[in-house]
Amino acid sequence: MSAAGPDYYALLGVSRDATPDEIKKAYRKLARELHPDVNPDLKSQERFKIITAAYEVLSDPEKRQMFDLGGDPLGSTGGFPGSTQGFDFGDIMDAFFGGGGGQRGPRTRSRRGQDAMIRMQIDLAAAVFGATRDITVDTAARCATCDGSGTALDSEAVTCVMCKGRGEIQQVQRSFLGQVMTSRPCPTCQGFGSTIPHPCHECAGDGRVRTRRTITIKVPPGVDTGTRIQLSGEGEVGPNGGPAGDLYIEVMVQPHQVFERQGDELHCALTLPMTAAALGTTVTFDTLDGEQEIDVRPGTQPGSILTLRGLGATRLRGGGRGDLYIHLDVSIPTKLDEAQIMLLKQLADLRSEDVVRVGVDGADGGGGLFTRLKDAFSPR
């Protein structure tokens, strides 16, 4: 053991005749427990420095021999690991990630393409019943000239001369651990590990080109404004032959002249002549499903609602359809000729409606105007 410092074998928990693999394994185990990212307290940080210095000494054959002979392999540090000069931080990366800082390798040129989204307008009938539509999209497609490789014909990518194909370059920086080796992407090859000296003239080395194509879209029944239809693999093709992203179709339903949609319900208004509302009638009404015969009962009042079951919008999830609600209004004539006036006066006489009486309490048991107002605002 060195007289100038601690016993590095004891610090790592190995025997003096331990093999390099046993020393490395022991250091990995301790580094996982004491690394500042795992144990940020000062005591653990100091111990981490000590075992790092111990590993620096015992992993280097010359320093280990010097220590075994009683020398000070760390020089001015006096055997204490205040500085880990010359230590390759890649060993710590190896302990935590299974590979050294310089062994992560270059990144691939082939990457997944981006997703794309376009808006498509449809009418209400297509939203209710579904439809098939053809849309034209401008997206990135695989270059047919180089088949996505990005290289010109009879050429190929070559190993980067700066990083020797590693995709990154290393540099040494000082930290509280001593000298730490860090890595960053190679600026020459952008981290790919290779360069393309002769790029394809069609795609300029990207492996893809812009193109216009037509896609057939199946619109499911029940979609509404804001619904998105996902088409897997129909988006942008990735660089250098990478897989395509997805294409999203956002549906925009155009307003209808007659019907208003509220969820799975359809609403519309129907105006009846005064006589038809009083006498009753049958109306032929155009729905999204075709013509329907609607029976209006005699004495129908303004604001009445007729319900046609199952003629509303389709439910996107769960199936089935909502209802169609027809809101009735009664048209009161504003201009009458003499004959019409006489007929209405005769009707009024027959119904004793020639004089309009406004009662306070009403005689029909339902209460007059003021009684109804009082009831409406009385506390309950």
Task: Answer yes or no: is pLDDT of 43 > 60.
Answer: yes
Give the C-alpha separation, 179 to 333, whole Å. 97
**Residues 125, 224: one domain?**
yes
**Residues 44, 130: one domain?**
no
Residue where a domain stops, chosen among 46, 68, 97: 97
Q: Is the dihedral of CA 283, 287, 292, 297 positive or negative?
A: negative
**Residues 247, 265: one domain?**
no
Backbone region of residue 253 per phi and psi (left: phi > 0; alpha: psi in -120 to 50; beta: other values) = beta
> What per-residue confidence (pLDDT) applies to 46?
81
Number of domains in the chain: 4
Supply 128's token pair. Answer: 């209710």
Supply 165's token pair. Answer: 């194909």
How far is CA 231 from each of CA 65, 116, 132, 220, 242, rounded to the nearest angstrom? 66, 10, 14, 13, 17
Mean pLDDT of the chain: 82
Identify the top-confidence range among 31-45, 170-184, 215-229.
215-229
> What per-residue confidence (pLDDT) applies to 2?
45
> What per-residue confidence (pLDDT) applies to 50?
86
Report if residue 162 sits inside a domain. no
**Residues 275, 345: one domain?**
no
Least reliable range by pLDDT among 36-45, 88-97, 253-262, 288-297: 88-97
Q: Where does the pLDDT of residue 30 fall: very low under 50, low under 70, confident under 90, or very high at 90 and above?
A: confident
Q: Where does the pLDDT of residue 241 fall: very low under 50, low under 70, confident under 90, or very high at 90 and above?
A: confident
**Residues 230, 356: one domain?**
no
pLDDT digits (tens, 9 = 90+) for 305-325: 999 999 999 999 878 999 999
Give the C-alpha separation, 126 to 377, whole Å. 47
pLDDT digits (tens, 9 = 90+) for 216-239: 999 999 999 999 999 999 999 999
Report if residue 178 sits inside a domain. no
Give the C-alpha separation, 14 to 108, whole Å. 41
> What per-residue confidence (pLDDT) applies to 260?
96
Q: What's the CATH code of the domain at 232?
A: 2.60.260.20
> What per-residue confidence (pLDDT) applies to 172?
67
Q: What's the rounded mean pLDDT across residues 118-127?
A: 95
Identify the top-confidence range among 94-108, 177-191, 323-337.
323-337
**Residues 140, 225: one domain?**
yes
Percent of the chain with pLDDT over 70: 79
**Residues 318, 345: one domain?**
no
**Residues 209, 85: one domain?**
no
Nearest to 91 by CA among 49, 61, 59: 59
Q: What's the CATH code of the domain at 37?
A: 1.10.287.110
Report if residue 182 sits inside a domain. no
Task: Answer yes or no: is pLDDT of 269 > 60.
Answer: yes
Report if residue 310 sits inside a domain. yes
**Residues 150, 226: one domain?**
yes
**Residues 349, 308: one domain?**
no
Boundaries of domain holding 318: 256-332
> What per-residue confidence (pLDDT) applies to 308?
95
> What per-residue confidence (pLDDT) applies to 29?
86
Nearest to 94 by CA among 25, 48, 162: 25
How far is CA 18 from each of CA 23, 31, 55, 80, rounded to the nearest angstrom? 6, 18, 12, 22
**Residues 262, 235: one domain?**
no
Percent of the chain with pLDDT over 90: 44
Q: Where does the pLDDT of residue 175 fall: very low under 50, low under 70, confident under 90, or very high at 90 and above?
A: low
Q: Where does the pLDDT of residue 270 fall: very low under 50, low under 70, confident under 90, or very high at 90 and above?
A: very high
**Spatial contact of 239 and 208, defined as CB atoms under 8 Å apart:** yes
pLDDT digits (tens, 9 = 90+) for 6-25: 788 888 999 988 998 899 88
Distance of CA 148 to the CA centre of its chain: 27
pLDDT digits (tens, 9 = 90+) for 70-100: 776 765 443 344 444 444 444 444 444 444 4
Q: Where does the pLDDT of residue 55 fall: very low under 50, low under 70, confident under 90, or very high at 90 and above?
A: confident
**Residues 280, 349: one domain?**
no
Q: What's the rounded mean pLDDT across residues 129-149?
A: 92
